[in-house]
Chain A
Amino acid sequence: MKVLVVGAGLAGLTAATDLAARGVDVQVLEARDRVGGRMHGIEVAQDDWADAGAAYLGERHTELLALMAETDLKAVPTAMEGASRFALTAPDATAPDARSVPGRFPPLSGVALGELFDLLDEVTRTVRVDAPWLTPDAERLDSITAAEWAEENLRHPDARLFFPLFLGEMMAAAPADVSVLHMAFYLRSGGGLRYLNAFAGGAQESRIDGGAHRLCEVLAARLGDRVRLGEPVLAVEQDGDGVTVRTAGGAHRGDAVIVAVPPVLADRIGFRPALPEPRSSDRTAPGCAVKVHLIHPSPLWREMGLSGWSVSSDGPLLSTVDDSPPGGVGVLTGFVTGEEAKRYAALPLAEQRAAAVAQAALLFPGLPEPIGFHVTNWLDEPYSRGCYAALFGPGDWIAQGPGLTRPHGRVHWAGTETSTEFFGLMEGAIRSGRRAAAEAAHDHPTSGSAL
């Protein structure tokens, strides 16, 4: 038996690893000249790496933690000490103003934010997380955007100010891009509001030592020449005996294929026979995240008693966090998300740099020019088309949801968007890869495994 895997991100590599362990012949075809997909490292100083894509994990990410233990990768806590900085101003304010606050609580009305989180908690609880399209009232929840929901439900100006920032942080979405059903599903899938939002005791408890990309590199190294780079897949053709996967470089033959790429990219592959329904629509948006790294000789903000955590209502850096490697250079990560990401992504690099540096200087007074500056624009990455994950717009869950994991003959589906558990996260990618590998091995056992 031979299984072809399209995409060498975490989902595809996990699927290939599982199949290889069952004695199945596997071949992974990756479009880029690197593995890892949305897990990508930047060497910001010698032997110091920053995560340009996926970065954080928590104790509920059990499959990821098990895989890290098995590959001898360690978790680095994201512990924050010191005060936070907030630059939250009403839209009509004349000059931006930043202030220090102990802990992570924004200087906004606690009651107003409580009402916002009550409302979010309420809608999140109603979701059938294993099958969002079966949620009570799914039709209505899938027909309105989170922006429309906020307009109707949020009264207090502080709640209206904070909601898009929260959604940007949680799921790299502009409220107008996602349906209420997708928002509620995403929050529930990731463990609920509190878990998804928290650093200590939550989904941002730690990072992978040396960079998240190392996990993919270790898995790929073990697979060796079973991973081929620079092979963008153009077509997947099934016949009575098997499946042919055509890439720019040639054709590959197998008994089954696991497609482990985001839904929008899967829809650009020519399938024969055709898919019964598309995996995305014109309302499916890319996860709107641009990640910025400001590199300093050391984490200078700590000397000011600041944690590096900040939230701003005006961009480009809607939040910043200290992602410095232990004992290494200072890495201030800036998240540009939602609508702001679309605007920022279109700027020339010099303007991106100037805007980010100016904002960092406002947030962290006295912070000098960085010694290094990196921008990772996931919106325009041709082989990701967004990060953290695809954003399902109105109608998407009802139309495409039921088919996301349904095999199409010999074609099986993986990728974090096919996992209803921890959708959009590394944990979801691993779980999807495990499921797809088990399906493929179960459905096409004829050629016999070596086990």
Chain B
Amino acid sequence: MSADDIVEIFRRVLETDDITADSDFFLLGGDSLLGTRVLSAVARTRGVELSFEDLLDAPTPDALAKKIAGVTR
């Protein structure tokens, strides 16, 4: 799953196009409720079950893509 895929997920969940690979989910209006929808989208498309702490730890598309790559390696 590339950072670009996650940019798309962030755009859909946060309802804004103003997202790049280093946008911080929580600084752009994301909260825990919306965060779970990122997790469910990742699980749906990649089959990887991340926790909410994973998103707190890796809140940008770039960082989250690296985390997912680490889990699936």
Name the one of A104, A105, A111, A193 contacting B40, with C-beta atoms under 8 angstroms.
A111
- Chain B proximity mask over A107-144: 1 for CB below 8 Å, otherwise 0: 00111111111100100000000000000000000000
Q: Which residues on the B side are within 8 Å of A111 (C-beta)?
A: 36, 39-40, 43, 49-50
Bound-state Cα–Cα, A104 to B56, Å: 13
Asked if residues A114 and B37 are in contact (CB atoms below 8 Å), the reply is yes
Q: Does B61 contact A (CB under 8 A)?
A: no
Q: A111-B43, A114-B37 are in contact. Are A198 and B49 (CB under 8 A)?
A: no
Name the one of A110, A115, A194 contacting B31, with C-beta atoms under 8 angstroms.
A194
Nearest CB on A from B27, distance (A): 12
Asked if residues B52 and A110 are in contact (CB atoms below 8 Å), the reply is yes
Asked if residues B37 and A104 are in contact (CB atoms below 8 Å), the reply is no
Nearest CB on A from B52, distance (A): 4
Nearest CB on B from A99, distance (A): 14
Q: Does A201 contact B (CB under 8 A)?
A: yes
Asked if residues B41 and A110 are in contact (CB atoms below 8 Å), the reply is no
Q: Which residues on the A side are within 8 Å of B29 (C-beta)?
A: 201
Q: Does A103 contact B (CB under 8 A)?
A: yes
Q: Does B51 contact A (CB under 8 A)?
A: yes
- Residue of chain B at shortest CB distance from A196: B33
Q: Does A352 contact B (CB under 8 A)?
A: no
Bound-state Cα–Cα, A104 to B29, Å: 15
Binding site secondary structure of chain A: helix
Asked if residues B31 and A118 are in contact (CB atoms below 8 Å), the reply is no
Interface residues contributed by chain B, number (CB under 8 Å):
18
Q: Does A247 contact B (CB under 8 A)?
A: no
Q: Does B34 contact A (CB under 8 A)?
A: yes
Bound-state Cα–Cα, A118 to B43, Å: 13
Q: Which of A109, A111, A113, A117 has the most CB of B within 10 A?
A: A111
Q: Which residues on the A side are within 8 Å of B35 (C-beta)?
A: 105, 110, 114
- Chain A proximity mask over B27-63: 1 for CB below 8 Å, otherwise 0: 0010111111111110100000111100100000000
Bound-state Cα–Cα, A271 to B17, Å: 53
Q: Which residues on the B side are within 8 Å of A193 (C-beta)?
A: 33
- Residue of chain A at shortest CB distance from B54: A110
Q: Which of A109, A110, A193 has the most CB of B within 10 A?
A: A110
Bound-state Cα–Cα, A113 to B51, Å: 11
- Chain B proximity mask over A183-198: 1 for CB below 8 Å, otherwise 0: 0000000000110011
Nearest CB on A from B57, distance (A): 12
Bound-state Cα–Cα, A201 to B39, Å: 22
Bound-state Cα–Cα, A109 to B36, Å: 9
Q: Which residues on the A side are within 8 Å of B33 (C-beta)?
A: 117, 193-194, 197-198
Bound-state Cα–Cα, A197 to B36, Å: 13
Bound-state Cα–Cα, A104 to B36, Å: 12
Q: Which residues on the A side are within 8 Å of B31 (C-beta)?
A: 194, 198, 201
Name the one of A103, A114, A198, A201 contacting B36, with C-beta atoms under 8 angstroms.
A114
Q: A105-B52, A201-B29 are in contact. Are A110 and B34 (CB under 8 A)?
A: no
Bound-state Cα–Cα, A330 to B35, Å: 32
Asked if residues A114 and B40 are in contact (CB atoms below 8 Å), the reply is yes
Nearest CB on A from B14, distance (A): 9
Nearest CB on A from B68, distance (A): 13
Asked if residues A118 and B37 are in contact (CB atoms below 8 Å), the reply is yes
- Residue of chain B at shortest CB distance from A102: B56
- Residue of chain B at shortest CB distance from A107: B52
Q: Which of A105, A117, A121 has the most CB of B within 10 A?
A: A105
Q: A105-B52, A109-B49 are in contact. Are A114 and B38 (CB under 8 A)?
A: yes
Asked if residues A114 and B41 are in contact (CB atoms below 8 Å), the reply is yes
Bound-state Cα–Cα, A198 to B38, Å: 17
Q: A110-B51, A111-B50 are in contact. Are A105 and B41 (CB under 8 A)?
A: no
Asked if residues B39 and A114 are in contact (CB atoms below 8 Å), the reply is yes
Bound-state Cα–Cα, A121 to B40, Å: 13
Q: Which residues on the B side are within 8 Å of A115 (C-beta)?
A: 40
Q: Which residues on the B side are within 8 Å of A194 (C-beta)?
A: 31, 33-34
Bound-state Cα–Cα, A117 to B39, Å: 11
Bound-state Cα–Cα, A109 to B42, Å: 13
10 A-B pairs in the complex with CB atoms less than 8 angstroms apart = A110-B35, A110-B39, A111-B36, A111-B39, A112-B40, A113-B40, A117-B40, A118-B37, A118-B40, A198-B33
**Which A residues lie at the B interface, using CB under 8 A?**
103-105, 109-118, 121, 193-194, 197-198, 201
| Known A110-B39, A113-B40, A194-B31; further 16 A-B contacts with Cβ < 8 A | A103-B32, A105-B32, A105-B52, A109-B49, A111-B36, A111-B43, A111-B50, A114-B36, A114-B39, A114-B40, A116-B36, A118-B37, A193-B33, A194-B33, A197-B33, A198-B33
Q: Which 5 A-B pairs have the closest CB atoms?
A: A114-B40, A114-B36, A110-B52, A105-B32, A110-B39
